[in-house]
Amino acid sequence: MRYLTAGESHGKQQTTIVEGLPAKMPITKEDINDSLLRRQKGHGRGKRMQIEKDLVDIVGGIRHGYTLGSPIALVVHNDDFKHWLDVMGEDPVPEDQNVRRVVTRPRPGHADLNGALKYGHRDMRNILERSSARETTARVAAGAVAKTLLKNLGINIVGYVKEIAGIKAEERDNLSIQERIKISEDSPVRSLDEVAGQKMMDAIDQAKKDGDSIGGVCEVYIEGMPAGIGSYVHYDRKLDGRIAGAVQSINAFKGVEFGIGFEAARKNGSEVHDEILWSEERGYYRRTNRLGGFEGGMTTGMPIVVKGVMKPIPTLYKPLKSVDIESKEPFSASIERSDSCAVPAAAVVMEHVVAFELAKAILEQFPNDQFPKLKQAVDQYREEIRSF
């Protein structure tokens, strides 16, 4: 399974094509729209979220509520494009006219300058329109399809916020995944800790007043993945490595860890590794879950716990210094967006890119032409390893 996205931030639409899903899998437009609307929520979001209401248009691969086995094509229209037609339109610009809103001033922390150097663009709008976090709309659409597959296999996933601006939510390891989903959905910052959540909102409001931005840590939690998904045989088949790469590819993400992650460097081995137990009801399981559901690049059957670090958004109301590529004169960087914190929305994006990697790994390991046969094979495998 793979997906491809296309579209610019202020262009006509965001397009996603997902290939490799089995036929006869139940899915509806609502499954995708729910995810898209969740991405737009969160305390600290800017005016763009008020302009766009992201709803999917399914234009291929699904008929009468079921997948066909052919590529699925999804479109999310940009309502704001009508105001950008002369800036972002595909037709050539007449010789007697100038292109509006040309960008020659790269913003620190963005892809502007590096993209211009790579592709030779003198107008850096050609870079910033694609490198924008707006592209995550298309990635969430792809992930929503993957989440639907996982849910139909008894695998559930949720993303929420662990930390914003150094304010950490209390650990709540005793919560079920359904409780995590409900609590995070009810929180404006997707925190499982109401007290910390209010402090996070206060910090976001203060950053907005200060003309600054703040980052944080997202966590994705998954229950229901059977043990042995992934592989220890080759580096590029290790599932935790593939998940790490997917998370790191999200705009502004700068680090990934599983379970206790970097804390393992500060502990003895006896405080890190998870002892193996067995019961007739559960089969093999671990006494603890410090490794976050992975050993040797494969799932252990324990909940998967992965965290991602998001840096503060680089566009500020107190602009940083840069250099105009035409005049080479210094200037204060321009403002292209107004989010002071996008960590709550990023938790939703992270949830969906992780879901895609999990679904992809499932489809690689089991018969994948028809969903009923896939489900039967996964259920049979679960029983085999339980009694192994």
Per-residue confidence (pLDDT) for residue 248, from 0 to 100: 97
Residues in the chain, pLDDT under 50: none
Side-chain half-sphere exposure of 19, counting CA atoms within 13 A: 4
Per-residue confidence (pLDDT) for residue 49, from 0 to 100: 57
Give dist(CA 218, CA 240) in Å, integer.
16
Spell out the residues 6+ positions from residue 319 whose beta carbon is closer than 8 angstroms to its own. 332, 333, 334, 335
Per-residue confidence (pLDDT) for residue 21, from 0 to 100: 97
Token readout for 332 is 């204060």
Which residue segments constitute the domains of the chain, with CATH numbers given? 2-386 (3.60.150.10)
Side-chain half-sphere exposure of 300, counting CA atoms within 13 A: 25
Quick one: angle between helices 343-365 and 29-39, nearest 10? 140
What three-state secondary structure class fits 257? Answer: strand
Q: Summarize the annotated binding site as residue ranges.
A: 39, 45, 130-132, 251-252, 296, 311-315, 337
Question: What are the distances in angstroms from CA 249 to CA 25, 310, 350, 353?
Answer: 28, 11, 10, 9
Spell out the residues 6+ positions from residue 213 whose beta carbon is closer than 8 angstroms to its own. 207, 312, 313, 314, 315, 316, 339, 340, 341
Per-residue confidence (pLDDT) for residue 42, from 0 to 100: 86
Question: What are the distances in angstroms from CA 251 to CA 133, 159, 248, 346, 347?
Answer: 6, 16, 8, 9, 12
Q: Summarize the annotated binding site for FMN as residue ranges.
A: 130-132, 251-252, 296, 311-315, 337
- Using the structure block, give the residue that is written with the tokens 């399914």: 58
For the stretch 267-308, pLDDT in tens is: 999 999 999 999 999 999 999 999 999 999 999 999 999 999
For the stretch 297-347, pLDDT in tens is: 999 999 999 999 999 987 666 678 899 999 999 988 666 556 789 999 999
- Predicted structure pTM score: 0.95
Token readout for 254 is 């700068």
Q: Summarize the annotated binding site for NADP(+) as residue ranges.
A: 39, 45
